[in-house]
Amino acid sequence: MAFYKSYGAAGEVTGSCHFLKIGDIKILIDCGMFQGEEEEFNYEPFDFNPKEIDFLIATHAHLDHIGRIPLLVKQGFKGKIISTGATFSIAQLMLKNSAAILETNKKPLYTTKDIDPALHLFGTFLEPNKSLILTKNIKITFKNAGHILGAVSVKIKFFDEGIKKSIIFSGDIGQSKRIITAPVQYWKKANYIFIESTYGHSIHDNLTISIKNFKKQILETIQNGGTVVIPSFALERTQEILFLLKQLSIKEKLKDIPVYLDSPLAINITKTFQNYPKFFNTKVTKMIKNNENPFEFDELIQTYTKESSEHIENHKGPKIIIAGSGMCQGGRIGYHLIRYLQDKKNLILFIGFQVHNTEGNKILNAKKEVRISGITVPIHATIHSIFGFSAHADQHELLEWLNHIKNVTCVYLVHGEIPQLKALKENVKLKLQNKVHIVKMHEQIHL
């Protein structure tokens, strides 16, 4: 008998954790951290015994997909963690950074001493278009998900009571066109599909137009003598920004304009990216093979230490500052916002969705002033947002991804808020004529 049970990312977009039992074998697909308003769920006990899990498949290295792995290990998990090599390399950085932040809490979920035992369980690496036999009855295969570096969707083939079955977990699916990442790969057939629905009701802005807007906003600001402050996610978004700024640098549009990358985590992740050329699109791969760094240019200054970060303001002319975090929740971005929000020549450029109640969302919606780190800051700078860079597929692209898959018994929707889930469900029924179901937390589904 085989069944699935949801332990996260059901009716929400964080805490991805999917349990699959095939005969006596127990598999987790991701073990992510709950974030935002669901953060308190991280402190609830697992509703399964971590000691009994045989395999954990990590689809990619975002914390909402791997953030609770150290906790899982701390509570007894000793099985194999299967991932791409890129996911493991990035996970090392992400988990160590996560632990350092958690240690500032009175009751941390886990600490830095819990990271190495978790990382030691990685080591079973599987790359896109390759397969791995877990047991004589279970085989898994990866395909590139196009979301971030190393991200995959996974297909699990198995025999259940003598019947051959297959199930696909999408992980997070990227847009069909990305700035640096290799394109999404499609599956041909499967019986059961668990698909993310983050933007199940949305259509993204055109990427080409968004890139032009990004460059236009930056050039206009620095030509007027202002500073551009970009709150950025350390993983993938920062590297996309650097790649686009390199294009401006090559055309000498940034001559004598310092570009500060003010995020130790982003600096370390960027170094890691160059080790995995196969996960990039053709243009970026070619640059790496020609020994050209796609994320480095003459004007770039990496401010790794706190002291070098504090010296950024000593440069009084126009400049560009890229700092974490992407939603302004901690990191070095707070200081820069306090400093540069108050001058009308400056631009605060958001490149990504700002979740409700985050500092970034408050700045976007503020009219005259905003509170940052207990300080009331008047807003005189221009606030602008660009949304076409999203690392997630929109509704059209999710339907396209599903449309490639034949022999589908049922589509199960996960990793989405309720309005997105409902909209995608109706479109799957109407346009694909597939049976479709919205998964609920702790719901058990027989396969």
State yes or no: pLDDT of 356 exceeds 80: no
Is the same domain home to 248 and 328? yes
CATH of the domain at 318: 3.40.50.10890
The number of folded domains in the chain is 2
Q: For the residues 363-378, what does the mean pLDDT come to?
A: 92
pLDDT of residue 353: 80
Domain that holds residue 28: 2-202+391-446
Provide the b/e sequence for 349-359 (b: ≥16 CB within 10 Å). bbbbbbbeebb
Neighbouring C-beta atoms of residue 339, cutoff 10 Å: 16
Is the same domain home to 265 and 195? no
d(CA 236, CA 324) in angstroms, rounded, equals 12
Is the same domain home to 223 and 185? no
Cβ 78 vs Cβ 26: under 8 Å: no
- Residue 29, classed as helix, strand or coil, is strand
Cβ 383 vs Cβ 64: under 8 Å: no
Cβ 174 vs Cβ 182: under 8 Å: no
Cβ 153 vs Cβ 159: under 8 Å: no
Is the same domain home to 40 and 171? yes
Is the same domain home to 181 and 67? yes
Question: What percentage of the chain reaches a pLDDT higher than 70?
Answer: 100
Where a domain ends, among 385, 411, 431?
385
Give the tokens for residue 374. 């207990």
Where a domain ends, among 343, 364, 385?
385
End-to-end CA distance of the chain: 8
pTM of the predicted protein model: 0.95
The residue length of the chain stands at 447
> Cα dist. 247→97, 243, 253, 297 in Å?
30, 7, 9, 9
Model pLDDT for residues 22-68, shown as the tens digit of each residue: 999 999 999 999 987 888 999 999 999 999 999 999 999 999 999 99
Max mean pLDDT among 112-116, 161-165, 174-178, 356-360 falls in 112-116
In eight-state DSSP terms, residue 391 is: S
d(CA 205, CA 23) in angstroms, rounded, equals 45
Is the same domain home to 215 and 131? no
Model pLDDT for residues 86-104, shown as the tens digit of each residue: 999 999 999 999 999 999 9
- Residue 85 CB burial class (10 angstroms; 0-12, 13-18, ≥19): middle
Beta bridge partners of 405: none
State yes or no: pLDDT of 118 exceeds 90: yes
Is the same domain home to 345 and 309? yes
Q: For the residues 217-234, what does the mean pLDDT come to?
A: 97
Where a domain ends, among 355, 370, 385?
385
CA angle 285, 174, 428 (to 5 degrees): 145
State yes or no: pLDDT of 357 exceeds 90: no
